[in-house]
Amino acid sequence: MSIVVMKFGGSSVDGIDRIKYVAQKIISKKKNNEIVVVVSASGNSTDNLIKKAKKITSFPSLREMDMLLATGEMVSTSLLTIMLNSMGQKAISMTGPQAGILADNNYTCAKIKKIKINRIKNCLLSGNIVIVAGFQALNVNGDITTLGRGGSDLTAIALSASLKANLCEIYSDVEGVYTADPNIVKTAKKIDCLSYDEMLEMAGAGAQILQPRSIIVAKKFGIVIHARNTFSKNPGTVITSEQNIRRKNMETLLISGITSDKNRVKFTVRNLPKGHNIVLKIFDKLAKVNIDVDMIIQSSILNKKNDIIFTVNKQNMEKTQTELNNIFLPKLNFVKIIRNERIAKISIIGVGIKENYNVIAKMFNIFYKNKINIEMINTSETIISCIVDKFNMIKAVKELHESFEIFMKR
Ligand code: ASP
Ligand code: MG
């Protein structure tokens, strides 16, 4: 029998009726397969737990945050197992540590080191459906840690790799990955198939459907992901290697989609003295506290000073501000730190996009015609991203989608 890993997102287990529906879905899949299920915390429960802790203090201990947040997944995991048992099924729930998921010591954003699969394997052998709490692991201190927001996807994909599963299905409340956010662009289309690289860019640029880190693991181990809707039978989006996707024309430009991300904050550090390893100082400090940075620009205006501009995820805004204040303000009071929360990142994604020189020009022309000012630009082989005022986000996405739609056929 082959192993299938099924992961259900928070909205799929929000309430007893949905848990029952999910249980039925699992039972019908069990007919021909051994099943390992990964579950997220229901609905907004992770956000609500964070809010509760922040009511007590703005800087709760990260270890205690992990203790707190891991409970969300434990609740949905055990409820789903109780439901399956009540329907006459042999099923057993496990926390991340019980499932043998071992990680490093970075509380709230731990990285998986390895998975000891024997307990899950034994439970499968004795006929169980195994239900694992997503998003959590055990570190070398013997503590529970969490794997970063959206980390249940990572649990599912990492388990698929360790168990050599034949398929990893990621169920949520959307049909799959779209060519743009369907709430913004009514004509956005569901994409049937994406390569790991395309999906990685889409997820990193704001497509909410999968945790970016999880796609890196899927690519590394060649795990085929099927992202689909819990509540429909429609095929979703398959994410697999480029070789598995048959492209009609080898070198034709193929745009995967347009993404928008309003979850980033722009920091500008002005009047930095040249030299002194300032860039190293900033980004080394931010890396040490696990802050992901992108769109870095360093510019020196005519004078002898440098400006450095970059963006970080909104959830790291205060942490970034504190780190920058600590580096500069005690000594260099002429340095100015400016932050702008009113930004959106708009990206066009497609393998080989940079080789098609006219895409960049066309994008800028659309922004120009619509009076959308570009604050930052970043390009690579697979993505062109611009930072614009948040106010212009919807217009920018709509206009770009309309103009590039003809390159999106697959
Ligand atoms: N419950 C966690 C979160 O909301 C993990 C997940 O859902 O994947 O980020
Ligand atoms: Mg998720």
Q: Round to whole Å and give the CA distance between 297 and 314.
A: 19
Residue ranges of domains in the chain: 2-173, 257-261+343-407, 266-340
Q: Round to whole Å and give the CA distance between 153 and 165.
A: 15
pLDDT band at 409 (very low <50, low <70, confident <90, very high): low
Give the chain's radius of gyration (CA, Å). 23
Strand duo 129-133 + 237-240: pairing? unpaired
Ligand 2 midpoint to CA 261 (Å)? 16
Which atom in ligand 1 lies closest to the alpha carbon of residue 151?
8
Ligand 2 midpoint to CA 137 (Å)? 17
Indicate if ligand 1 lies below 6 Å from the C-beta of 41: yes
Q: Round to whole Å and give the CA distance between 228 and 172.
A: 6
pLDDT band at 154 (very low <50, low <70, confident <90, very high): very high
The structure tokens 């619509």 sit at 370
Q: Round to whole Å and give the CA distance between 376 and 203.
A: 20
The pair of three-digit structure tokens given for residue 410, joined into one six-digit string: 């697959």
Average pLDDT, the chain: 93
CATH architecture for the domain at 266-340: 2-Layer Sandwich (3.30)
Q: Round to whole Å and give the CA distance between 401 and 278.
A: 39
CA-nearest residue for atom 9, ligand 1, is: 149
Ligand 1 midpoint to CA 40 (Å)? 6
Average pLDDT over residues 346-354: 89
Indicate if ligand 1 lies below 6 Å from the C-beta of 96: no
Pocket probe for ligand 1: among 7, 50, 73, 76, the residue whose CB has the most ligand atoms within 8 Å is: 73
CATH for the stretch 257-261+343-407: 3.30.70.260
Indicate if ligand 1 lies below 6 Å from the C-beta of 151: yes
pLDDT at 141 over 70: yes
Which atom in ligand 1 lies closest to the alpha carbon of residue 150?
8
**pLDDT tens by residue, 86-138:** 999 999 999 999 999 999 999 999 999 999 999 999 999 999 999 999 999 99
- What is the model's pLDDT at position 173? 93
DSSP track, 106-150? -TTS--EEEE--HHHHHHHHTTPEEEEETTEEE-TTS-EEE-STT
Q: Round to whole Å and give the CA distance between 313 and 265.
A: 6
**pLDDT tens by residue, 357-407:** 789 999 999 999 999 999 999 998 889 999 999 999 999 999 999 999 888
**pLDDT tens by residue, 199-237:** 999 998 888 889 999 999 999 999 999 999 999 999 999
**pLDDT tens by residue, 33-76:** 999 999 999 999 999 999 999 999 988 999 999 999 999 999 99
pLDDT band at 303 (very low <50, low <70, confident <90, very high): low
User: Quick one: CA dihedral 388, 394, 397, 402, positive or negative?
Assistant: negative
Whole-prediction pTM:
0.90
Indicate if ligand 1 lies below 6 Å from the C-beta of 316: no
pLDDT band at 347 (very low <50, low <70, confident <90, very high): very high
Percent of the chain with pLDDT over 70: 98
- What is the model's pLDDT at position 249? 66
| Terminal Cα distance for the chain, rounded | 33
Provide the greatest CA pair distance for the chain.
75
The pair of three-digit structure tokens given for residue 279, joined into one six-digit string: 């860039």
Ligand 1 midpoint to CA 179 (Å)? 24
Instruction: Identify which has the larger pLDDT, 276 or 194.
Output: 194
Is it true that 257-261+343-407 and 266-340 share their CATH fold? yes
Q: Which CATH superfamily is domain 2-173 in?
A: Acetylglutamate kinase-like (3.40.1160.10)
pLDDT band at 278 (very low <50, low <70, confident <90, very high): confident
